[in-house]
Amino acid sequence: GAVVSQHPSWVICKSGTSVKIECRSLDFQATTMFWYRQFPKQSLMLMATSNEGSKATYEQGVEKDKFLINHASLTLSTLTVTSAHPEDSSFYICSATGGGPDTQYFGPGTRLTVL
């Protein structure tokens, strides 16, 4: 149980375009979802925390107008990278809580490459 999926797993896009990443909890209702970014050989960096039906809480230094988060239901959150630039190329990982006590379950990640 407690499976989180992400789609797409891998995307290449042109600079200036927008990319949407979906995160779904498949077998539980996610009370909270988190979005992380991870650059090569670095640790996970929390970008934002979202609760269903309310606005996401962004970490310091993360532009909310560039990284749009929508958490429309208890099983789906989306992250849209708007006007992507090459420096946005990274591994984006979502996680969700609600499938066990205090435990985060991670999606498989989305590798974004912006040309």
Partner 1 sequence: RKEVEQDPGPFNVPEGATVAFNCTYSNSASQSFFWYRQDCRKEPKLLMSVYSSGNEDGRFTAQLNRASQYISLLIRDSKLSDSATYLCVVAYNFNKFYFGSGTKLNVKP
Q: Which of 108, 115, 99, 76 minimizes the C-alpha distance to 6?
A: 108
If 0-12 CB within 10 Å is exposed, 13-18 middle and 19+ buried, where does residue 34 land? buried
Minimum CB–partner distance for residue 95 and partner 1 (Å): 8
**Interaction between residue 107 and partner 1 (CB under 8 A):** yes
* Ranges within 18-77 binding partner 1 (CB under 8 A): 31-32, 34, 42-44, 46, 49
Minimum CB–partner distance for residue 24 and partner 1 (Å): 14
**Interaction between residue 104 and partner 1 (CB under 8 A):** yes
Q: Which of 93, 77, 90 minimizes the C-alpha distance to 33?
A: 77
**Interaction between residue 16 and partner 1 (CB under 8 A):** no
